[in-house]
Amino acid sequence: MRHFITTDDWSRDDLQAILDLASRMKADPLGSNALAGKSMALLFFNPSLRTRTSFELGIHQLGGKAITLNAGQDSWPMAFAEGAEMLGDEEEHVIEAAQVLSRYVDLIGIRAFPKFQDWSLDRQDRVIRAFAKYGSVPIVNMETITHPCQELALMQTLQERKGDMQGKKFVLTWTYHPKPLNTAVANSAVMIATKFGMDVTLLCPNEDYLLDERYMKAAEANAAAEGGSFTVSHDIEAAYDGADVVYAKSWGAIPYFGNWQAEKPIRDQYRHFIVDAEKMSRTNDGLFSHCLPLRRNVKATDEVMDAPYCAAIDEAENRLHVQKALLATLMEGNRP
C-alpha cells in the first residue's frame, strides 16, 4: 500500500511525475475522471481554509466524492493509545475508526497537528501512523508534523516561476509570530528544497530554533544525493544575499516544547526577522512565498505580500492541482 505521509518515502522522479501531471491538470481542470466512482474521507483534527477547499474541489473535479469530518465535532472523539482503558472523553478507538472508514472510502486524508505539550510524543506522528496501520486504503497527509502537499505546491510554483531549481539558493527564514506554531511546513520546506537540488539555507535566530534532527538529517542526505547543499545561518543579511527564493515560516523552539511561557521572551527578541522589502532587495531578484495563513506586518510586510515577487497566492492555488495529481497517482499506483 503506497501512502503519502512524507515525501521522504518518494523519489525525486516520482514527485516530478506528480508535478508534471499537476501542470497538465492545471491546463485542463476538468479533463480527468481519475476518481470516478471513488470517494475520500477528509478527517480534520484542526482548522483549515486551503486544505479543505482544495481537496473537496479537486475530488469533485476528478469525478469523486469527498466526505469531510471534523473529528470530535461531527465524528466521535477518538483514542489513539494502544491498550488504552477508555474512561476519558474518547468514544471510539482509531483501530475501529480506520477499519470502518476503509470499508467505505478509497482514500483517507488526515490533518492532525502536534498537541504542543511533549515533542517526544508529537514527533511519533501517531494519529496518521495509526490510520496507516489499521486502515486498508492509501493515507494522505493533509498536515501533521510535515505538510507534503504544501511541498508539492511550493515546487510547482517555483518551477512555474523560475524553471529548473537545481543549484538555486533557497532560504527558509524563521519569522516571528505571537504564538508558537507547528514546525511542519519548515520541516517540509527543507526536505523538498534539498530533494530538488537547491542550495538551502535555514535562517533562524539561534540554535534553539533548529528543526528536529530527523528533518535536519533528511535535508543533509537529500543535499548529498541531489547535488545541493544544506546550511544553517543566524545572519540575516548573509542569508538573503543572492537568494533566488525566500520562504518564510514561524515555529516554536523545540527545546521549549510545552514550556512556551519560557520561550516567549526569547521569541519576542526576534521580531526583526520579519520579511521586508529592504531584506528582499538583497536577493537575486528573488521570489517570496509562504504557505498561508500569514499575519501581515508580523511575518511579512504589506509591501512584500503585495509585490509581484510574492508567489503565495499561486502556491495556494497550486495546492488544488498537485493534490489532484497526487490522488490520481495514488489510485493508479494502488490499483489491485
In the complex, least distance from residue 110 CB atom to ligand CP, rounded to whole angstroms: 13
Q: Which of 23, 48, 68, 70 binds ligand CP (CB under 6 A)?
A: 48
Asked if 51 interacts with ligand CP (CB under 6 A), we say yes
Closest alpha carbon to 170 in 148, 149, 186 = 186
Stretch that binds ligand CP, among 58-66, 189-197, 244-252, 291-299 (CB under 6 A): 291-299
Alpha carbon 34 to its chain centroid, in Å, reads 24
> By the 8 A CB rule, do 287 and 244 touch?
yes
Closest alpha carbon to 230 in 256, 211, 208 = 211
User: 5 or 79, CB closer to ligand CP?
Assistant: 5
Stretch that binds ligand CP, among 11-19, 44-52, 64-72, 223-231 (CB under 6 A): 44-52
Asked if 291 interacts with ligand CP (CB under 6 A), we say yes
Q: What share of the chain is helix, strand, coil (3-state, %, to 5)?
A: 45, 15, 40
Q: Which of 3, 38, 50, 129 binds ligand CP (CB under 6 A)?
A: 50
| Binding residues among 138-167 for ligand CP as defined by CB under 6 A | 143, 150
In the complex, least distance from residue 49 CB atom to ligand CP, rounded to whole angstroms: 4
Burial classification of residue 258, based on how many CB atoms lie within 10 Å of its CB (0-12 exposed, 13-18 middle, 19 or more buried)? middle
Asked if 292 interacts with ligand CP (CB under 6 A), we say yes
Q: How many residues does the chain have?
A: 336
What cell numbers appear for 80 in the block? 489513539
Please tell me the count of residues contacting ligand CP according to CB under 6 A.
Answer: 9
In the complex, least distance from residue 13 CB atom to ligand CP, rounded to whole angstroms: 26
Query: Cis peptide before 293, with omega less than 30 degrees from 0?
Result: yes
User: 48 or 334, CB closer to ligand CP?
Assistant: 48
User: 190 or 223, CB closer to ligand CP?
Assistant: 190
Stretch that binds ligand CP, among 6-14, 196-204, 244-252, 286-294 (CB under 6 A): 286-294
Give me the DSSP letters along 278-292.
HHHTTSSS-EEE--S
Residue 281: left if φ>0, alpha if ψ -120 to 50, beta else—which one?
A: alpha
Q: For binding to ligand CP (CB under 6 A), which residues are involved?
A: 48-51, 143, 150, 291-293
